[in-house]
Chains A and B, each alone.
Chain A
Amino acid sequence: MGTRQKIDARGAFCPGPLMELIATLKLVQIGDEIEVWSSDKGSATDIPEWVKKVRHELVGVTKEDGYWSIVVRKAK
């Protein structure tokens, strides 16, 4: 069972939620999950699009109060 790490990237204009996710994925183990909080609605589409491209696993996308929670599991 992997661990779950949270990135609170709400209001992060640069480097932004996806770049933070990419950087953090390099630091965790296969099977670990990363939960990204983003206030940019674009994250709800561009993070899943990228996760599909590189064949990690999208655990879920949830609309919260004023932000999106996107959970990704490192698959390789």
Chain B
Amino acid sequence: MAKKILIVGGGLSGTIVANGLCRQLRGELSSGSVSITMLGASDTHMYQPGLLYVPFGKIRESELFREQRKVLDRRVPYFVDPAKHIDVENKVVTTQSGKTHSYDYLVIATGSRIRPENIPGMVEGGHWFYDLDGARKLRDALAQFQGGKIVINVNAPHKCPVAPLEIVFMLRDFLIGKGLLDKSEITYTYPIGRLHALEPVANWAVPEFQRHGIKSETFFNTKSVDPQAKTITSEEGVTLPYDLLITIPPHSGQQVITDSNLGAGGWVPTVKNTLLREGSDNVFIVGDTTNIPISKAGSTAHFEADTVVDNLVSLLKEDRWARDYDGKVFCFVETGFNTGTYVWFNYTTPPNPGPPSQMIHWFKLAYNRLYWLSARGLL
């Protein structure tokens, strides 16, 4: 009997897993002893980190998208028919159209989504850039902005943890370019008691904020937004006025995860080294979908996916475990329109970001295109 691998989710991690498996299981796929199937939600694959550039007109929208079937190895049948229920006991996934897919190995890569509706007033009063519609609306709002109070508001949990700082520094350069910096005031709010979760990044940001007159309010977890009064209020009891609110909304996992009783909030309890679902030996969880206390980021998804590929191939070919995931995360950090830095860390190595440079910014711009090689499993 052919071994059936089913991948639920057509984002970065699911796609890397699929393409990586195809590269290493060429013979098995040809002989029919292994099959790989993917279920996704869209015909198109989006380069999500590129959304950061949309509000500033720094990327063409066409650069954000590719046809998923062209990103995916042609040997993987791809169905735009998202999972509606995942039954890990009976090893079967039911889709929204009612079809069922059985599997021997399941890879859950359903990702995360923004939930601005979870905070009263945020949909009506806020702008964001974590989806295309929001990024377009923010672009239009910035085009009309003539100065005033801007609040950049960060909520937990959220993916791409450096993006909130990046938008601050890019916004500063945008305001300088429009001659509006002197007429504007930027206030950055963050849920914990410093400017970023990564302490070295937070320490680096403090003098940068001081140098550019950027205000901050830490220990700020949003309770509500009042779109009429144009104020935002925290659970900690602080209210800030705004003329333009840019928020990083709280995130959750996908509905299918909670509907399938696989994890509260859509996050699946996952063993941090094996990436196996807790209690399963044939269900892998990759990318934002895990509940591992680690950054929800594209690089995390990438490094996790590489690990899953190696282990699935090893299990199928040699019936043994290949290697554990070491918690590796790598993030570029744009520190303006012309400079950038990067940070990497894993479960045992703390982060230590270097000084920003133009060269690293250029690397980031190059990666905006090299991403498609990552998705294809080539980089």
| Interface, chain A (partner B; CB < 8 A) | 7-9, 11-20, 22-23, 26-28, 42, 46, 49-50, 53-54
Task: Give the nearest-CB partner of B201 in chain A.
Answer: A14
- Say yes or no: is B105 at the interface (Cβ < 8 Å to chain A): no
* Shortest distance from the beta carbon of B206 to any chain A beta carbon, whole Å: 16
Query: Are B293 and A27 in contact, CB atoms less than 8 angstroms apart?
Result: no
Question: Most A CB atoms within 10 A — which of B198, B219, B250?
Answer: B219
Q: Provide 13 A-B residue pairs closer than 8 Å at the C-beta atoms, listed in order of the A residue.
A: A7-B293, A14-B161, A14-B329, A14-B345, A15-B156, A19-B197, A20-B157, A22-B156, A22-B191, A26-B265, A27-B265, A46-B193, A50-B193
* Shortest distance from the beta carbon of B159 to any chain A beta carbon, whole Å: 10
Residues of B near A9 (CB, < 8 A) are: 293
CB-CB under 8 A for A14 and B198, given A19-B156, A46-B192: yes
| CB interface residues, B 223-244, toward A, < 8 Å | 235-237
Q: How many angstroms between the C-alpha atoms of A54 and B293 in the bound complex?
A: 22
Query: Are B197 and A54 in contact, CB atoms less than 8 angstroms apart?
Result: no
The segment out of B53-61, B75-83, B281-289, B347-355 that lies at the interface is B347-355
Q: Which listed residue (A8, A15, A50) contacts B197, Cβ 8 A?
A: A15
Task: Give the nearest-CB partner of B154 in chain A.
Answer: A19
Q: Which listed residue (A12, A26, A28, A49) contacts B250, Cβ 8 A?
A: A26
* Shortest distance from the beta carbon of A6 to any chain B beta carbon, whole Å: 11
Q: How many angstroms between the C-alpha atoms of A44 and B236 in the bound complex?
A: 19
Q: How many angstroms between the C-alpha atoms of A15 and B199 in the bound complex?
A: 10
Query: Are A16 and B236 in contact, CB atoms less than 8 angstroms apart?
Result: no
| Interface, chain B (partner A; CB < 8 A) | 118, 156-157, 161, 191-193, 197-199, 219, 221, 235-237, 250, 264-265, 293-295, 327, 329, 345, 347-348, 350-351
CB-CB under 8 A for A14 and B197, given A19-B157, A22-B221, A53-B219: yes
Query: Are B191 and A19 in contact, CB atoms less than 8 angstroms apart?
Result: yes
Q: Which listed residue (B191, B235, B264, B294) contacts A14, Cβ 8 A?
A: B294
Query: Are B293 and A12 in contact, CB atoms less than 8 angstroms apart?
Result: yes
Q: How many angstroms between the C-alpha atoms of A48 and B285 in the bound complex?
A: 32
Query: Are A15 and B295 in contact, CB atoms less than 8 angstroms apart?
Result: yes
Task: Give the nearest-CB partner of B343 in chain A.
Answer: A14
Question: Most A CB atoms within 10 A — which of B161, B198, B235?
Answer: B235
Residues of A near B192 (CB, < 8 A) are: 16, 18-19, 22, 46, 50
Q: How many angstroms between the C-alpha atoms of A71 and B199 in the bound complex?
A: 23
CB-CB under 8 A for A14 and B295, given A26-B250, A54-B235: yes
